[in-house]
Each structure stands twice: as structure tokens, then as C-alpha cells.
């Protein structure tokens, strides 16, 4: 997810600093972004020069201090509240007081993630869908403390990334994953009734869900 978000931002011409927990993860993160753009070259959508230019604007580090001048930071670690809060504890220490701090959580309550964060008015949920450099929907989830200009920044970022930004309220799964939960439940009910997986998948694709 982090690599996909980084790739989407580089595609829009934004300089990106990707933070990973150790050198091995940093190398893997850079390789994942490289792979995204290499795929574009293979499909004829990017030239090798385009690939090199996009990678040139990506820095990868294990030091949170590298984010000290960032305008906006998007956390994209896995769905564990303790891990996410540890990340924001670090961000609260090193980032500028006016930097927008965003979480990419899919299900967790953003208010819980932001507990204790200095300047909670600059915090917002920006939920990308995987693969983040491809999928168009961007759910924007403000908390009660989110400042209007921070909400506007989320929408501006979505448009800059060529996404479809949609404001969502705070609830489990927000909008997209609540829909997913319902239609997946119905698909599973069909399987229990004996309908073949390939038939369910074909029906979903035929309806317009390209991933089946």
C-alpha cells in the first residue's frame, strides 16, 4: 500500500520520502515502487526516461527526521492500533506543526489513532484502495477536530492524484469496505448454495466489478 501511494504521488509530480522500519524494508519498498513504474514501461505507458525521473523524486529512509520538512504525511502501516499510534507518536515529534498528518486506515476509528497527537486539527483519514496507484476512489475521513483547510487539502490531494475523493463518516469500513462486506457475504451465500466460484466471479465482473 505504501509503495502504491508513493507511486501515485510521484506520478502527480510530488516529491516523496518513504519511511521504512529498517534497511531491508527500505530496499523492499524502493523495489516495489520501481516495479510499479517498470510495469508502465513494459506496457508502453512510460519511457525509460519517465521511469528514471519518477524514481529520482523518491527518497527512502529509516529515519523519521527525514520528514521534518514534509507538508503532508500518510501513514500506511498494517491495521494494528498500537503500531499506528506509535507511528503518529514519532510524527508528532518530528513533523512541522502545520504538517497535515493522515492515516490510511481501512477499518479503525481515526479518532482513536489520533489520541494524544499534538495539533489534532491537522489529522485526517485518507483511505486509498489497493493497488493505490490504480484505484480511483479516495475516501476522505475527517475527525470532529479536523480543520476545514485540512479537509480541503485532502480533496485537493485527491484531485492532484487523479482520484475520485469522497468524504466518509467515521464507521467500520467507511463506505467502500462496508459495500464490500455486504456483497462478499452474498457471494459466499451463493457458494454455500452450490453456485460455482467462476460463475459468481463472472457475474460480478459482468456487473462492473472489474476485480470480480
> For the chain, what is the total number of helices (H) and then of strands (E)?
8, 7
DSSP letter assigned to residue 89: H
Residue 134 CA to residue 11 CA, distance in Å, equals: 11
Instruction: Examine residue 131 and say whether the peptide bond preceding it is cis (omega within 30 degrees of 0).
Output: yes
Contact status, residue 170 vs residue 109, Cβ threshold 8 Å: yes
Q: Give CA–CA dist 136/22, Å, rounded.
A: 31
CA 173, CA 115: separation in Å to the nearest integer?
A: 20
What does each C-alpha distance from 39 to 32, 43, 45, 121, 212 come to in angstroms? 11, 6, 9, 39, 22
Options 34, 51, 127, 133, the catalytic residue: 127
Whether 127 is catalytic is: yes
Distance from C-alpha of 202 to C-alpha of 45, rounded to nearest angstrom: 28
Q: Which residues are catalytic?
A: 127
Amino acid at each position: 500500500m505504501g509503495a502504491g501511494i508513493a507511486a501515485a504521488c510521484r506520478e502527480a509530480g510530488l516529491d516523496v520520502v518513504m519511511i521504512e522500519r529498517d534497511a531491508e524494508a527500505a530496499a523492499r519498498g524502493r523495489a516495489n515502487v520501481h516495479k510499479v513504474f517498470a510495469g508502465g514501461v513494459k506496457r508502453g505507458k512510460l519511457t525509460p526516461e519517465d521511469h528514471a525521473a519518477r524514481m529520482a523524486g523518491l527518497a527512502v529512509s529509516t529515519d523519521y527526521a527525514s520528514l521534518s520538512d514534509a507538508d503532508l504525511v500518510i501513514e500506511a502501516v498494517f491495521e494494528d492500533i498500537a503500531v499506528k499510534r506509535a507511528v503518529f507518536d514519532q510524527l508528532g515529534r518530528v513533523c512541522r506543526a502545520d504538517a497535515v498528518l493522515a492515516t490510511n486506515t481501512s477499518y479503525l476509528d481515526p479518532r482513536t489513532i489520533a489520541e494524544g497527537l499534538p495539533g489534532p486539527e491537522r489529522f485526517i483519514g485518507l483511505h486509498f484502495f489497493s493497488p493505490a496507484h490504480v484505484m480511483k476512489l479516495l475516501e476522505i475521513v475527517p475527525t470532529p477536530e479536523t480543520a476545514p483547510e485540512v479537509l480541503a487539502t485532502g480533496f485537493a490531494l485527491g484531485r492532484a492524484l487523479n482520484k475520485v475523493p469522497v468524504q466518509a463518516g467515521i464507521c467500520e469500513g467507511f463506505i467502500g469496505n462496508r459495500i464490500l462486506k455486504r456483497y462478499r457475504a452474498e457471494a459466499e451465500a451463493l457458494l454455500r448454495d452450490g453456485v460455482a466460484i467462476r460463475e459468481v466471479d463472472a457475474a460480478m465482473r459482468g456487473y462492473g466489478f472489474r476485480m470480480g
